[in-house]
A and B are shown apart, each in its own frame.
Chain A
Amino acid sequence: MTSSTISRIRNFSIIAHIDHGKSTLADRLLELTGTVSARDMTAQVLDTMDLERERGITIKAQAVRMPYRAQDGHDYELNLIDTPGHVDFAYEVSRALAACEGALLVVDASQGIEAQTLANVYKALELGLEIVPVVNKIDLPQAEPEAVAREIEEVIGIPREQCLMVSARTGAGVDQVLEAIVSALPPPQGEAIAPLRALIFDCKYDAYRGVVVYTRVVDGAIRSGTQIRMMAGQGVFTVDEVGFFRPGMEAVEELGAGEVGYVIASIRNVRDSKVGDTITDAQRPAVSPLPGYRQASPMVWAGLFPIDSDSYQDLKEALERLQLNDAALAFEPETSAALGFGFRCGFLGLLHMEIVQERLEREFNLELITTAPSVAYRVQMRDGTTLEIDNPDQLPDPEHVEWIEEPRVKVELVAPREYLGGLMELCQERRGEFVHLEYQPGDRALLTYDLPLGEIIHDFYDQLKSRSRGYASMDYQLAGYRREQLVKLDILVAGGKIDALSAIVHRQQASNQGRRLVQRLKEVIPRQLFEVALQAAIGGKVIARETVPALRKDVLAKCYGGDITRKRKLLEKQREGKQRMKRVGSVEIPQEAFMAVLSLDR
């Protein structure tokens, strides 16, 4: 399609709730345009990782090019960009959307518009995308397409007659969708002869070819041999190959303004190809980069420790492997008195952490203990030095500390107005400060708060969803540090401090948090042969105490000829279970205890 001029390109994404038929529609589009033959169609071509399929979320973006001859007789180049779908990856989503001019909004004709979908629509509208509403599953007996079209008009403000009525399953109406992409979505704007500016919206690591950069060319063109410079990352590379996805990689001579595709340039590390960065021509650089670049840096830190200490080296290698394809994952060695040798790892958020942990366990067969996540604090020492700590246990003795600063974030919440009250209440509970409220077209409001990062990493997002019936969307950015009354909460088990259970908390919340934490630990630590005292302490002063009572009875009445084999097998099994626990002092502590702080109810 090198002949295609910029006016024949359409770049779009699909916004849909899980199960509303995004993948089926995408598959139909691929089939109908002849991009993938029906025979080669495996269900849901676009989601490639097992984990993605299971969780129904897309972690990595995908891009596929479809050739299409429209009813006007012209040949078009349609680029579908599939986006990840969770707040941890909100920035990645925004960059993928920024690479498009429009989006298909797919809504199930029997379910109506769902909250999460609306949140993504808000995001797309903010970025100026044109929305084409598609009411799907009209073949279902319980379908109410007219009612759903009316709902779309009321909530988003798109006239109901613009809704396309389709069944991706039967294929009915899918041809109209292709026509609407051509007629209703605008072509890209861009200067073909201006210096190169291309937006990186994702990348992946390929063992044979190095980093494959997913990009949208905005101005100029990129071809093999071009010497490119990353405008934020500053790296300079020579392009080996450019091309597009069909959905396999197909090389082309060049990617011109408006086009979406990939660039391979002997880039060894995904860190040299940052999402949101602008690629320019090193010889003829653009004056300014594309707007919106943000450094993707870890927001939360947690310790990962192998249960079997012999697996330390395996864990290290596994983390290195994952890091090849995950620019946001950071790690460094950590030693804990309680848990032995492991790694302090940095993540974008809790979902990112869970995904990494799950992949380590599943793909690399590791058994891990993860400690409760923390944010990074700045400590001003009495001697004038400044420390940055991402592990509560590293906090020096209070006598050496002048003050502690905690990271704050600017959080933007978009939600229907009726939920504003509940959301403001949530932000206040989390030590938030009101910044701004703005009413937007339709029913929406944009609420801006300044919050401590530590207050939003645990369950803030879940709370946000439950207090807005799922309708609120959220985005956040680091917004500096602020001095606060912070203290280290230590947990003592049977009189001994467990470093991996320490947490940094606000002084006002410390006693409450300490009490709930020891209560929770009492639930997860099994009875031992002796009574186990659980204490929460601040600076040596105990503020809460619970006791795990000693085991009172554990003996089988009978052990005769036929019982002995059973007894031995039980012992073997129990011994394995014991080995999965961590023995700290004389107390055995199960894995989940180290994450107990996460399961506290507020």
Chain B
Amino acid sequence: MTAEVVVGAPRSLYLHVPFCSRRCPYCDFAIHVGEDQLQERYTKAVLAELSRIATGELELDTVYLGGGTPSRLHPRLLGQLLDAIRAHFAVQPGAEVTVEANPEDVTAELARAWLQAGVNRLSLGVQSLDDRALAWLGRGHDAAQAESAVQVARLAGFENLSCDLIYAVPGQDVGTLERGVRRLMAHGPTHVSCYELTVEQGTPLQRQVRSGRRPAPQVEAFLEQRQMLGEVLGEAGLEMYEVSNYARPGRRSRHNLAYWNGLAYLALGPGAHGFLGAAESAALGLASEGAALRYWHLRDTATYIRDVESGASGWRGHEWLGESDLQMERLACGLRLSHGVRLGSTGQLNRALELAEMGLLVVEGRTARATPRGFEVLDRVTLELVSASTPSGRGQP
């Protein structure tokens, strides 16, 4: 038998800031273009939701403002929001407070304002240091702006700095990518997230690929570039700790680790997902129908604002998770981490040993972690282990 999954009290909070200057063709997030006039009402709505969910003295270790483009939020409003979060929760000393920013928005003045508001980690949407790839991706900045944003942030005092990169962009070869990454690493970011370009359902990019107007990302490019990224980032002292994330020692994203470790987190703002144990759900007035609760907000900003203004939750829906759901999520998320995950049943362990023989996993005791090859096909490896955990009966005539 497996130990019960412990979700715990939430020690993380995610706030979604939906405003963007443009819709990037590959993006399927909850965002809004050209609705910055909603910023004041949005902020009031979030503050209202905040005071509603802040029940008791919860301690927070991480706060994450994601988007969208949080750097488009007026610094005064951003300050109000962070102040309110500190007023309602016991944000711990040394807590990780991250804001996502687009390079074209970053100025020395703004960076200082963020620091003053209590932000201590910046996640920059660099995406690429190749102008052609940036144009292909439909970004609003060029390579020079990206480099300057990194420099400006560092000079302003952001020591803990993460950069997002997109690779396997059609038309970009591994050499060009490598030169860009090496240039970026010269600026000393402490954390890099590398995502291969993914054609998501319902995005403009998907329509273009389907109609043949744009080439689809290639598996060969993914494999080759992923390997190169691991090597170059490794040389710079960044180690892969999750499928797509690399960090210097001590600079892993504590907030994101909460997701992957199956810990509870609060969420605010349109489209944001939260995850709570049964006790905290009860505190929100929800009668328990499972071991844990996941809830998500209305995606449309105006709708979210109206809903919260009317005194309602701003939620679009929720689901209760049972023990077996939690086990499955814990396995799926845990396998994404370099240190792996503890296996549940003996059936899982046996299947993991088979996968280890194929060079996809390393099994030590009851813990399994993916090999570099295993990470390339991790979702299938996960499926194998998930399927092994259900007993398959053999009927007799």
Q: Is B one of A's binding partners?
A: yes
**Chain B hits for A309, CB < 8 A:** 393-395
Is there a chain B Cβ closer than 8 Å to A553's Cβ? yes
Chain A residue, CB-CB nearest to B30: A562
Asked whether A341 lies within 8 Å of B397 as measured between CB atoms, the reply is yes
Asked whether A567 lies within 8 Å of B380 as measured between CB atoms, the reply is no
Is there a chain B Cβ closer than 8 Å to A50's Cβ? no
**Chain B hits for A578, CB < 8 A:** 383, 387
Known interface pairs A529-B377, A554-B378, A567-B332. Does A561 touch B383 (Cβ–Cβ under 8 Å)? Answer: no
Q: What's the minimum C-beta distance from A37 to chain B, rounded to whole angstroms?
A: 51
Q: What's the minimum C-beta distance from B257 to chain A, rounded to whole angstroms?
A: 11
Asked whether B195 lies within 8 Å of A558 as measured between CB atoms, the reply is yes
Q: How many residues of B contact A (CB 8 A)?
A: 51
Chain B residue, CB-CB nearest to A310: B395
Is there a chain A Cβ closer than 8 Å to B358's Cβ? yes
Q: What's the minimum C-beta distance from B382 to chain A, rounded to whole angstroms?
A: 7
Known interface pairs A310-B395, A341-B396. Does A555 touch B358 (Cβ–Cβ under 8 Å)? Answer: no
Is there a chain B Cβ closer than 8 Å to A568's Cβ? yes
Is there a chain B Cβ closer than 8 Å to A313's Cβ? yes
Is there a chain B Cβ closer than 8 Å to A556's Cβ? yes
Is there a chain B Cβ closer than 8 Å to A193's Cβ? no
- CA of A558 to CA of B66, assembled, Å: 14
**Chain B hits for A310, CB < 8 A:** 393, 395
Q: Which of A545-566 contact B (CB under 8 A)?
A: 551-562, 564-565
**Chain B hits for A529, CB < 8 A:** 355, 358, 360, 377, 380-381, 384
Is there a chain B Cβ closer than 8 Å to A579's Cβ? yes
Known interface pairs A530-B358, A554-B380. Does A561 touch B336 (Cβ–Cβ under 8 Å)? Answer: no
Work out how many contacts link A and B, with CB atoms closer than 8 A. 115
- CA of A212 to CA of B67, assembled, Å: 73
Q: Which of B297-312 contact A (CB under 8 A)?
A: none
**Chain B hits for A470, CB < 8 A:** none
Q: What's the minimum C-beta distance from A504 to chain B, rounded to whole angstroms?
A: 26
- CA of A551 to CA of B381, assembled, Å: 11
Asked whether B377 lies within 8 Å of A551 as measured between CB atoms, the reply is yes
Asked whether B259 lies within 8 Å of A561 as measured between CB atoms, the reply is yes
Chain A residue, CB-CB nearest to B297: A562
Asked whether B395 lies within 8 Å of A313 as measured between CB atoms, the reply is yes
Q: Which of A300-334 contact B (CB under 8 A)?
A: 306, 308-313, 316, 333
Asked whether B395 lies within 8 Å of A311 as measured between CB atoms, the reply is yes
Is there a chain B Cβ closer than 8 Å to A189's Cβ? no
Asked whether A575 lies within 8 Å of B386 as measured between CB atoms, the reply is yes
Asked whether A553 lies within 8 Å of B395 as measured between CB atoms, the reply is no
Known interface pairs A529-B355, A568-B332, A571-B383. Does A561 touch B273 (Cβ–Cβ under 8 Å)? Answer: yes
Asked whether B195 lies within 8 Å of A575 as measured between CB atoms, the reply is no
Asked whether B328 lies within 8 Å of A568 as measured between CB atoms, the reply is yes
**Chain A hits for B360, CB < 8 A:** 529
Is there a chain A Cβ closer than 8 Å to B105's Cβ? no
**Chain B hits for A568, CB < 8 A:** 325, 328-329, 332
- CA of A316 to CA of B336, assembled, Å: 45
Chain A residue, CB-CB nearest to B377: A554
- CA of A552 to CA of B319, assembled, Å: 34
- CA of A584 to CA of B319, assembled, Å: 37
Is there a chain B Cβ closer than 8 Å to A190's Cβ? no
Interface string of A558-596 (1 = CB under 8 A from B): 111110110110011011001100000010000000000
Among B296, B328, B376, B397, contact of A553 (Cβ-Cβ < 8 Å)? B376
Asked whether B380 lies within 8 Å of A579 as measured between CB atoms, the reply is no
- CA of A170 to CA of B91, assembled, Å: 83
Is there a chain A Cβ closer than 8 Å to B90's Cβ? no
Asked whether A574 lies within 8 Å of B383 as measured between CB atoms, the reply is yes
Q: Which of B331-379 contact A (CB under 8 A)?
A: 332-333, 336, 354-355, 358, 360, 375-379
Q: Which of A143-173 contact B (CB under 8 A)?
A: none
Q: What's the minimum C-beta distance from A178 to chain B, rounded to whole angstroms?
A: 56
Known interface pairs A557-B195, A564-B333. Does A575 touch B379 (Cβ–Cβ under 8 Å)? Answer: no
Interface string of B209-224 (1 = CB under 8 A from A): 0000000000100110
**Chain A hits for B383, CB < 8 A:** 571, 574-575, 578
Query: Counting chain B CB atoms within 10 Å of each CB, which of A306, A555, A558 scores highest?
Result: A555
Is there a chain B Cβ closer than 8 Å to A210's Cβ? no
- CA of A454 to CA of B67, assembled, Å: 65
Q: Which of B125-173 contact A (CB under 8 A)?
A: none
Asked whether B329 lies within 8 Å of A564 as measured between CB atoms, the reply is yes
Is there a chain B Cβ closer than 8 Å to A298's Cβ? no
Known interface pairs A552-B223, A564-B333, A579-B392. Does A559 touch B377 (Cβ–Cβ under 8 Å)? Answer: no
**Chain A hits for B325, CB < 8 A:** 568
Known interface pairs A341-B395, A552-B376, A555-B375. Does A561 touch B332 (Cβ–Cβ under 8 Å)? Answer: no
Query: Counting chain B CB atoms within 10 Å of each CB, which of A333, A561, A571 scores highest?
Result: A561
Query: Counting chain A CB atoms within 10 Å of each CB, which of B271, B375, B380 scores highest?
Result: B380
Among B222, B390, B395, contact of A312 (Cβ-Cβ < 8 Å)? B395
**Chain B hits for A313, CB < 8 A:** 395, 397
Is there a chain B Cβ closer than 8 Å to A67's Cβ? no
Q: What's the minimum C-beta distance from B219 to chain A, rounded to whole angstroms?
A: 5
Asked whether B259 lies within 8 Å of A571 as measured between CB atoms, the reply is no
**Chain B hits for A247, CB < 8 A:** none
Q: What's the minimum C-beta distance from A200 to chain B, rounded to whole angstroms?
A: 35
Query: Counting chain A CB atoms within 10 Å of each CB, which of B275, B360, B387, B394 scores highest?
Result: B387
Interface string of B241-275 (1 = CB under 8 A from A): 00110000000000010011000010100011111
Asked whether A559 lies within 8 Å of B333 as measured between CB atoms, the reply is yes
Asked whether A564 lies within 8 Å of B259 as measured between CB atoms, the reply is yes
Chain B residue, CB-CB nearest to A340: B394
Is there a chain A Cβ closer than 8 Å to B14's Cβ? yes
Asked whether A565 lies within 8 Å of B294 as measured between CB atoms, the reply is yes
Chain A residue, CB-CB nearest to B271: A562
Chain B residue, CB-CB nearest to A556: B379
Among A555, A571, A586, contact of B386 (Cβ-Cβ < 8 Å)? A571
- CA of A561 to CA of B29, assembled, Å: 12
Is there a chain A Cβ closer than 8 Å to B120's Cβ? no
Asked whether B196 lies within 8 Å of A557 as measured between CB atoms, the reply is yes
Chain B residue, CB-CB nearest to A552: B219
Asked whether B396 lies within 8 Å of A565 as measured between CB atoms, the reply is no
Asked whether B395 lies within 8 Å of A571 as measured between CB atoms, the reply is no
Interface pairs (24), CB distance under 8 Å? A309-B394, A313-B395, A340-B395, A341-B396, A341-B397, A529-B360, A529-B377, A553-B222, A554-B380, A555-B243, A558-B244, A559-B259, A559-B260, A559-B333, A560-B256, A561-B275, A562-B296, A565-B294, A567-B332, A568-B328, A575-B387, A578-B383, A579-B387, A586-B354
A529-B381, A553-B219, A553-B223 given; name 18 further pairs at CB < 8 Å. Answer: A309-B395, A312-B395, A312-B396, A529-B377, A529-B384, A552-B376, A555-B379, A557-B196, A559-B336, A562-B272, A564-B294, A564-B332, A564-B333, A565-B294, A567-B332, A572-B328, A578-B383, A586-B354
